[in-house]
Structure 1
Amino acid sequence: PSAPAETITHTVVKTKTKKLPVFVSSLAGLVVGAVLVIALVMTGALRIGSTNVDAPALSDSGSNQTIQIDTEDTTLAEAVSAKALPSVVSITAVNEGSGEGGIGSGVILDTDGNILTNYHVIEGATTINVSTNDGASYEAELVGQDESSDLAVIRLQGADASSLTPIEIGDSDSLTVGEWVMAIGSPFGNEQSVSTGIVSALYRSTAMQSTSGTTIYANMIQTDAAINPGNSGGALVNDNGELIGINSMIESYSGSSSGVGFAIPVNYAINIAQQIIDGETPAHPYIGVTVTTVNAYSARQNNLAVSEGAYVNSVNADSPAEEAGLREGDIVTAVDDTQITSADGLIIAAREHSIGDTVTLTVVRDDETIEVDVTLGSDAEVQAESQDGTTGEGSGNSLSEDELRQYLEGLM
């Protein structure tokens, strides 16, 4: 007799670690290929050409750091570590009511004490404590968050501006595959740890379901630098010591680093962070429709013309979708050249662009396929009304167990 088939469990992990047992959560309903990303944020340029490395501050409220480095005997990793480590912190977030908590990482943005991290690091916390590179410990307050982007800003209480080293911000749009990078954070609670690697790929996107709703990870940076639970919210920096991403997730069979980590691009992260600091509602590109996933079962049950795509249940009034002429019952099958196979796929495709961009939707309407140009709007106003500008149900095109059974019965 043949040997039984081996069952392989694929785990997507957000890289926050609990204080005692390591935090590794298996998340259901993920888009195929979802990955665990760990964010790294840094503010300080590294220039090696003399014995001094000057790191200008991120904002006017910052201060320069001068680090003595012997360029003849110092490796690149040592120089970048010396520059970036002072700008990365360890975060302990605890819910005093439940006693639950976890450890993550964060990046110092300015000398006002604003720190960028992942939302899932501080989610549900009633107390937040931050440890800096010099051994100091501070309480922190939540400034604001953007759950759908998995980003949050916290602010240190009582910190002296002269003791804070803001990270220098790089340009994630200029990254190339193969570029050298360093990840900095607190893996498994081990503070001020660094690992090196390269940019493995760019523009990786996925959506994940959580207690706060759907989190959209768009245009992520993939790296083989080791990222583990506890690295969430930490910095991914380039060879100039500039922040290029916020480490957030990994794709792993074990729940620990497997060489496939992901970071939120710094250009996007800083834009969201600045809106939070300014007291604004973080804005994202949106289309203005409510959609559900089309799969083989729903297509058969509803006599649809296609077996995959995003079915438009409703169109928001005065939205970009309404202005473009989208209708209830339309099925979106592509955005520009990207095939859309699910509701989440449409939301991700919108987030991969910027507010004001015009995209071309391929739409199946009855038995006809048409193209509709949509200029993406801002979802800030609809967020204020507690609505999601483009919402959807279904994080993939696969059938549930019940749908698969009913679908097969229908074929008999």
Structure 2
Amino acid sequence: MDNLNKPATVTSGRSPRLRSMMAAFLAGTLVTGGFMFASDKMNLFTLHQGAAAAGTAAAVDVSGSPTAGAGLKNAAVNLGTNGSISGIVDQSKPAVVKIETKVKAQSNPNSQFTDPRFRQFFDDGSAEGSDKLQDGGLGTGFIFEKSGYILTNEHVIDGAEEIWVTVQGYDKPLKATLLGNSYDLDLAVLKIEGDKDFSYLPLGDPNQSKVGDWVVAIGNPYGYDQTVTVGVLSAKERPISIPDTQGTREYKHLLQTDTSINPGNSGGPLLNMNGEVIGINTAVSAQAQGIGFAIPTSTISTVLENLKNNVAIPKEPIPYLGIGLEDVNADWAQDLNLNTKTGAVVTQIDPKSPAFAAGIRTYDVITAINGQSVANAEELSSKVKETAVGDQLTLTTIRSGQQSEIHVTVGNKNAK
């Protein structure tokens, strides 16, 4: 505080107080001017006049139908947002819906996710429906065609006896029909009927979005309808696995975002700054902040017509040898009279597997694949996963102290 009372070392005809006031004024003017310039360039505060009003089409259809032709593309016309978040929100909200389910009394969709690292976005909800059913879960979806087609996550409607959808402009929830769904891809398409065309959102191309780009999420976290959050695209091509009572969902090619998402957001749109959907918000890390995941529309577009028409979706081929492995440790080395402590011991084998057909047997020790040494079971499994179905592999094995090479054709686990 003493410095405030020290005389100025350089004097002028103006008092120190006057000079301080002038300096503060000029600094404030400079900062305010710079902020206003940034806001004008980025349109931070202005609601664009071209934003669609509630009850009208949420975006311009550039192809006659947002899903016609299957391929994704950016809209060829100005959607009216000009990068304004408020414009994107006003345009998109009418097409974002709340999904509530009714289940049988013994059903409990909230109990199916057992992985402590991740949680899917369920929340308790309520909906109109049969008195014989109880409330199931709550999630989000979005309309992607004006006739009432809705995209959401499969886990949002899993086990539901009835599905009810709340849409802006309607006093009561509309009962939805499940057209098609995929457990493996965690996608579902619903259909609702109304007395007018619905607002809808166009599907964009996530390949055109870059890491660091702004993204917007709209959903119903914890029942707070039409909640908007903003963040950036944090990463692409993220794989995660979430086990549940039906198996394990193996997600691939996910978009990672730090946009705030919570239980109830599941199935909602992740939007780019053109107001296009580039992903469906699906999962969030329960042990971290700002780590959420969305299924990209590049995945959705390839199966959308199948889902609309309830046509089975072919499962993606998974490289498969059909063996169970353990690391070579001191005990295995002693039991099998090995001179090495690296490699992987075959402890299980499927008698109908490619490995069995090639001649591999239990207690064989695999030390190399295609001439490259493997340190342990995990490394061997990783190398097999990097191959393609139909590839020819040469496995170096040790059996009863004798080394040999066995040629194996990689099979498809989903074709068993």
More relative contact order in 1 or in 2 (CA 8 Å, sep 6+)? 1
Alpha-carbon spacing, 1:313–1:51, altered in 2? closer, same or farther (3 Å) = same
Per-residue Cα deviation, 1:130-157 (whole angstroms, up to 9, x for no partner): 011334521012222211222222222x
Matched, 1:273 2:307: no
Per-residue Cα deviation, 1:30-71 (whole angstroms, up to 9, x for no partner): xxxxxxxxxxxxxxxxxx99846752151469xx9x999696
Q: TM-score, normalised by structure 1?
A: 0.61
Match of 1:194 in 2: 228
Residue 183 of structure 2, aligned match among 140, 147, 151: 147
Partners of 1:311 and 1:285 lie apart in 2 by: 24
Matched, 1:287 2:319: yes
In the alignment, structure 2 segments of 5+ residues that lack a partner are: 1-46, 53-58, 70-74, 107-133
| More moved, 91-100 vs 124-133 | 91-100
Match of 2:89 in 1: 81
CA contact (8 A) 2:181 2:310 kept: no
CA deviation after TM superposition for structure 1 residue 315, in Å:
7.7
| Aligned positions of 1:23-38 closer than 5 A | none
Give the SS at the match of 1:163: coil
Partners of 2:247 and 2:312 lie apart in 1 by: 17
| Aligned positions of 1:7-156 closer than 5 A | 51=50, 55-56=60-61, 57-59=65-67, 76-98=84-106, 99-135=134-170, 137-156=173-192
Q: TM-score, normalised by structure 2?
A: 0.61
Residue 291 of structure 2, aligned match among 260, 265, 269: 260
In the alignment, structure 1 segments of 5+ residues that lack a partner are: 1-47, 351-355, 383-388, 390-412
What is the root-mean-square deviation of aligned Cα atoms in Å? 4.6
CA contact (8 A) 2:140 2:265 kept: yes
Give the SS at the match of 2:378: coil
Partners of 1:151 and 1:332 lie apart in 2 by: 41
CA contact (8 A) 1:142 1:155 kept: yes
Matched positions, count = 313
Which residue identity is paired with 2:182?
A: D
Which residue identity is paired with 1:164?
A: F
CA contact (8 A) 1:185 1:230 kept: yes
Which residue identity is paired with 2:211?
A: V
CA contact (8 A) 2:328 2:345 kept: no
Alpha-carbon spacing, 1:326–1:100, altered in 2? closer, same or farther (3 Å) = farther
CA contact (8 A) 1:146 1:272 kept: no
Alpha-carbon spacing, 1:196–1:140, altered in 2? closer, same or farther (3 Å) = same
Alpha-carbon spacing, 1:368–1:244, altered in 2? closer, same or farther (3 Å) = farther
Match of 1:341 in 2: 378
Which residue identity is paired with 2:258?
A: D
| Aligned positions of 1:154-233 closer than 5 A | 154-156=190-192, 158-160=193-195, 162-233=196-267
Which residue identity is paired with 1:124?
A: G
Partners of 1:184 and 1:299 lie apart in 2 by: 55
Which residue identity is paired with 1:227?
A: I
Partners of 1:112 and 1:189 lie apart in 2 by: 26
| More moved, 124-133 vs 273-282 | 273-282
Per-residue Cα deviation, 1:354-397 (whole angstroms, up to 9, x for no partner): xx9887979664467999886x9795xx4xxxxxx5xxxxxxxx
| More moved, 283-292 vs 214-223 | 283-292
**Identical-pair percentage:** 28
